[in-house]
Amino acid sequence: MSAERIVVAMSGGVDSSLAAAMAAETGAETIGITMHLAGSQSRCCSLEDVEDARQVAERLGIRFYVANYLDAFRREVIEPFADAYLAGETPIPCVACNKRFKFDHLLERATVFGADRVATGHYARCERDPETGRVRLLRAVDDNKDQTYFLFQLDQAQLERAWFPLGSLSKTEVRERARALELATADKPESQEICFVPDGDYASVVEAIRPEAKKASGDIVDAEGQVLGRHDGVHRFTVGQRKGLGITTSEARYVTSIEPETRRVVVGARRDLECEETIVREVSWVSGQVPDAPIRARVRVRYRHPGALARVEPCEAGRVRLCFDEPVPAVSPGQAAVFYDPDDGQEVLGGGWLTRRQG
């Protein structure tokens, strides 16, 4: 690594702490920045995390700053999160956070500092294609920690300046190296929840942001429209959900669709969740070039989804049609559909947002 100055996004966790240490080890001037995003109740980027990041920066002997983005985070991440639930979708705020804050906003700060690159603790890899000169976004070596699903919106300009030093390490190796460097965060537990929903109660967050959600009750119906029960708001449901439906039936029922216009939650059998094709909106292509013909891809429709082979057909207005080789269950509107190379599934080709399914 030959950059003279590197800005590191330091969240206060072990991953970003080691990323900062690895940046400093290159001999480059390293600057740590913690982005204060979600307030005191957050499980990430909280005041406690700020202090943890500061301790690591002091240990490494690097400059450290805190950037306050509370208002922007509410406007760009939390409010769209609430609106998506009210629209019958299941949002992924981590994608918007990574795109807007870990890269858009942070790269702006890096430019002010005169930094050449931004390093983060993401488990992902970048590699330049020798034939095209473009930067390829690749899955991490540690498949269990890979985070490329959340990075599909990054463009070539951002990838040119991004460095993911943990991409070739396992989580075990990260902690071992952090302990060897005596970093205060070496054994800090990691949170699995969305940072601004620390107790997992999504509905309460939605209702706090959009109080009208408390009045959005409606019917739970089957595919024929027969009313099976009542609910307290469409924001309390997601496609594929089985538990907590509040109805009693002779066989298991799953949420198959959500109709925010009528406030109906439709339930059915597990087989009713199978999706053969769907439309994906607001598609981003990592290369920056939209395919001029259908392509083959391995598509992940949620973070832990192993991926399903599909034909990706470009449509108008930044959309594509996904035609799966075999039906895929529980395709939820609002989740991301991320396209990978169909052969080994390592390279991210692009991705977008799932709409209401068809077929």
Cα dihedral 128, 11, 140, 281 sign: negative
Identify the three-state secondary structure at position 134.
coil
CA distance 93 to 39: 16
User: First CA to last CA across the chain, in angstroms?
Assistant: 49
CA distance 284 to 275: 22
Select which of 97, 126, 275, 315 is catalytic: 97
Catalytic-residue membership of 94: no
Q: String of b and e for 263-297 (b: at least 16 CB within 10 Å)?
A: bbbbbbeeebbbbbbbbbeebbbbbeeebeeebeb
**Active-site residue, from 195, 275, 315, 323:** 195
Contact call for residues 147 and 123 (beta carbons, < 8 A): yes
Q: How does strand 63-68 pair with strand 347-354?
A: unpaired
Q: Would you say 284 and 153 are in contact if contact means Cβ atoms under 8 Å apart?
A: yes
- Distance, C-alpha 215 to centroid of its chain: 30
Strand ranges (E), the chain: 5-9, 29-36, 63-68, 117-119, 124-128, 135-139, 162-163, 218-221, 227-231, 254-259, 264-268, 275-285, 295-300, 308-314, 320-328, 336-340, 347-354
Give the list of residues 6+ apart from residue 137 with CB closer than 8 angstroms, or none. Answer: 124, 125, 126, 148, 151, 152, 154, 159, 286, 347, 348
Is 195 one of the catalytic residues?
Answer: yes
Strand partners, 7: 31, 118
CA distances for 6 relative to 12, 26, 126, 343, angstroms: 18, 10, 16, 35
Catalytic residues: 97, 195
